[in-house]
Structure 1
Amino acid sequence: MSDTAPYASKPEDTLGRLYGAGPSPTRSEFQRDRDRIIHSTAFRRLQHKTQVFLAHEGRHFRNRLTHTLEVSQIARSIARALRLNEDLAEALALSHDLGHTPFGHAGERALHRAMSNFGGFDHNVQALRVVTQLENRYAEHDGLNLTWETLEGILKHNGPLIDASGVPVGRYAHEGLPSGVNDIPAVSDLRLDTYASLEAQAAAIADDIAYNAHDIDDALRAGVLNLEDFLDVPMAGPIVREVLERYPGIPVNRQTHEVQRRMITRAIEDVISFSSANIARIAPQSVDDVRLAGTTIITFSPETAIAEKGLKNFLLTRVYRHKSVMQPVLESEAVVERLFARYMSDADMPGRWGEKAKACSGPNRARVVADFIAGMTDPYALDEHYRLFDARPEFR
């Protein structure tokens, strides 16, 4: 993209792929990454993986695929406004949830507990396992053979994993680095102590914008809350008030959509405005300047960041921990834990997974089991549970 800024990622400057792919006459290297992700099996499976509300609760709630597409649209909008590489931002948005388990974060928590004696489970690292090892469609190699820049962005879109001295930081400061993070096959070191590209940062904040807005929409659709419950909630409250005042007589679903679209628009505009100021202040002249800036550059303004945190706290207590959500959460966690224990003991896994499991034991077998379970869709996990235990959980 000739009109991108000096600090944007340039496909012609990529560090490359682990396996040579030859030049393409019609697509840039980041476009090729995006296309490989879209055509992967793991990407298709996202349509049957939970976001917040399980599929049995209704067909119009977000799933991992619809969430991913919303994140992609927002990431491209931010990237375009900041003159970044839109294709890389899109590829990272499309791949950011490829490592998620069935049943949303509930399944991830359960699998992390089950793997506690074997290095734990981390969905970002799992996404890298998917795109570098577990996808097995290509004739000459495992994985999708993505560029270094895309692998880096998947791993570090939320920031560095370690500081300059090698000490884990952020979410990894307490438990340490996730298992396998130092064994990711890539053409070059992924530099765990630096920040990722601005394209990766755009995808990360797009994720926050998307799920804040659509979790409100889904909570209202599910009847967990009504619009008036948001009147005093940070970030959402002022928008709800102006919508109810301007459109008092229209159906609730139209009011809800008006709130959602205004929230997304204002959040994007806030990010673009404040990030532009950050860029002007830091003045990076290359993507390496971004990596070594020592701070996240694409952010909300301080006022919006505080409000967004308040909104997240509200959603945590009133939506994610609502009894209508928690009952299915507990049941789905139990499904994952029972599947893991059974596969680790005596149950055969289908196809190549069973063959891989028979060839190893201990931590290696546990990782095979975790890979198998993480790749499941919600319906497939329930089918396997029925096959092994002759029972289907009641989510209601």
Structure 2
Amino acid sequence: MQAPYATDPGRSRGRLISEADSAFRSCYARDRDRIIHSSAFRRLKHKTQVFIEHEGDYYRTRLTHTLEVAQVARTIAGALGLNEELTEAVALAHDLGHPPFGHTGEEALDRLMQPYGGFDHNAQAIRIVTALERHYARFDGLNLTWEALEGIAKHNGPVTGVLPYALAEYAERHDLELDTYASAEAQVAAISDDVAYSNHDLQDGLRAGLFDEADLAALPILGPAFAEVDRIWPGLERPRRQHEALRRVFGGLVEDVLVTSRALIASLDPDSPEAVRHAGHPVVRFSGGMWQDLQVIRRFLFERVYRAPSVMRTRAEVTAVVEALFPLYLERPDLLPAPWLADLPARPDSTVLARMVADYIAGMTDRFALQEHARLLADAAKTARH
């Protein structure tokens, strides 16, 4: 049974382009399914989470990360009496806007796009689901419900001040009430992202040999988890020991969210989703103590994983790829695929062209970006020789 503050599909604000209801799916189930069947979702398979997609078969990709986020989100949403289908839809869409090479690619593209409004992966996700996916006869994008779009746009909180270009463009024709908090379902999707990556980046860092269990012994949450495993199963082989400890960390994070959020919701006593949106603060959160412990773990991850020498070398290499491709396409838009050129005005201004180039590069997978970089630079070298 859903709570009174859960989002009710029967009271959805609907879609920008009106459609008949499905006979066997709720509107949010249809949103979820459209996201799963989108081209952008499939491309997440070959996009970086932390380690470049081809560096190993066992590291998370952006797709496996997204699936883990969705699993956590469904669990939390069900326990809080929320709408699991909407929660899952937002979770599955939350990283659709990431360019190749993870946050490194995003930082490079944002720098290059500063003269043209910048680049933000959350705003790009909105652009993908409202414009760039082109499969349906009646509309561009996926024509998701208002609630799904709201969740994608502001699952991390209200979006105020100067809006990212892609989000500002859409907000002109569809008011997502960006100055309020999102639904509790979207807040669950956001915190599930924190739970998932806090756990799997530790696991991937261990697998990559960037640190070992001894380095984790002094960290909050982790040290006690390993100690408990050693007490129950002394002498357990290393892979099982790691897994047993990290699953305890994972479960502890979820339990903390549930206990804290239930208390916040009980204090607020919301009688509708609107009461959650206008609470003035998130209602799905970690406890203060857990949040402080997570900051210690994240500083460790920043130093030992995200800024590890091997990772930094790769970051420099892939940054160079994006920095080479962007000006090349700006100078030679004829290098873009024919379907993209069909949308280009005869004499596009610099911003229109730059936005198209950014859309194209952002849609690339890691391997395609590397292949195009190698091919185009080889062609340029041949031309220079002749």
**TM tier, shorter chain?**
over 0.9
Once the 2 structures are TM-superposed, how far is the Cα of residue 382 of structure 1 from its aligned partner? 0.9
One of 357, 366, 374 as aligned partner of 1:386: 374
1:251-330 → structure 2 map (5 Å cutoff): 251-330=237-316
Aligned residues of 2:230 and 2:236 also touching (Cα < 8 A): no
Counterpart for residue 90 of structure 1: 88
2:312 matched to 1:351? no
Counterpart for residue 394 of structure 1: none
d(CA) in 2 for partners of 1:144, 1:113? 29
Once the 2 structures are TM-superposed, how far is the Cα of residue 188 of structure 1 from its aligned partner? 4.4
Which shows bigger deviation, 351-360 or 273-282? Answer: 351-360
Counterpart for residue 190 of structure 1: 176
Aligned residues of 2:158 and 2:181 also touching (Cα < 8 A): yes
Once the 2 structures are TM-superposed, how far is the Cα of residue 128 of structure 1 from its aligned partner? 0.3
Counterpart for residue 382 of structure 2: none
Counterpart for residue 210 of structure 2: 224
**Any idea what the Cα deviations from partners look like across 1:145-174, whole Å, max 9, x if unmatched?**
000000000011011012xxxxx2xxxxxx
2:166 matched to 1:177? no
2:108 matched to 1:110? yes
d(CA) in 1 for partners of 2:297, 2:323? 31
One of 168, 187, 191 as aligned partner of 1:201: 187
Q: Taking structure 1 as the reference length, what is the TM-score of the superposition?
A: 0.93
d(CA) in 2 for partners of 1:313, 1:325? 16
**Any idea what the Cα deviations from partners look like across 1:308-334, whole Å, max 9, x if unmatched?**
111111100111100111111111111
One of 342, 361, 368 as aligned partner of 2:356: 368
Aligned residues of 1:356 and 1:368 also touching (Cα < 8 A): no
Counterpart for residue 71 of structure 1: 69
Aligned residues of 1:103 and 1:378 also touching (Cα < 8 A): yes
**Any idea what the Cα deviations from partners look like across 1:211-235, whole Å, max 9, x if unmatched?**
0000000001111111111011123
The RMSD of aligned alpha carbons is 1.4
Aligned residues of 2:69 and 2:189 also touching (Cα < 8 A): yes
Q: Which runs of 5+ in 1 are unaligned?
A: 163-167, 169-175, 392-396
Which shows bigger deviation, 291-300 or 380-389? Answer: 380-389
Which shows bigger deviation, 260-269 or 70-79? Answer: 260-269
Aligned residues of 2:100 and 2:362 also touching (Cα < 8 A): yes
Aligned residues of 1:51 and 1:63 also touching (Cα < 8 A): yes
d(CA) in 2 for partners of 1:18, 1:185? 12
2:5 matched to 1:7? yes
Q: Look up the SS of the partner of 2:64 in the other structure.
A: helix
State the one-letter code of the partner of 1:209.
V
d(CA) in 1 for partners of 2:297, 2:223? 9
State the one-letter code of the partner of 1:161.
V
Once the 2 structures are TM-superposed, how far is the Cα of residue 186 of structure 1 from its aligned partner? 8.8
Aligned residues of 2:111 and 2:118 also touching (Cα < 8 A): yes
Which shows bigger deviation, 181-190 or 117-126? Answer: 181-190
d(CA) in 2 for partners of 1:367, 1:195? 28
Aligned residues of 1:18 and 1:187 also touching (Cα < 8 A): no
Once the 2 structures are TM-superposed, how far is the Cα of residue 358 of structure 1 from its aligned partner? 5.8
Aligned residues of 1:15 and 1:187 also touching (Cα < 8 A): no
Which shows bigger deviation, 275-284 or 179-188? Answer: 179-188
**Any idea what the Cα deviations from partners look like across 1:264-305, whole Å, max 9, x if unmatched?**
111111100110000000111100000000001100011101
Q: Which runs of 5+ in 2 are unaligned?
A: 380-386
Counterpart for residue 46 of structure 2: 48
d(CA) in 2 for partners of 1:59, 1:33? 30
Counterpart for residue 145 of structure 2: 147
d(CA) in 2 for partners of 1:208, 1:84? 19
Q: Look up the SS of the partner of 1:269 in the other structure.
A: helix
Counterpart for residue 243 of structure 1: 229
Q: Percent identity?
A: 52
Q: Taking structure 2 as the reference length, what is the TM-score of the superposition?
A: 0.95
Q: Look up the SS of the partner of 1:285 in the other structure.
A: coil
1:12-23 → structure 2 map (5 Å cutoff): 12-23=10-21
Aligned residues of 2:127 and 2:167 also touching (Cα < 8 A): no
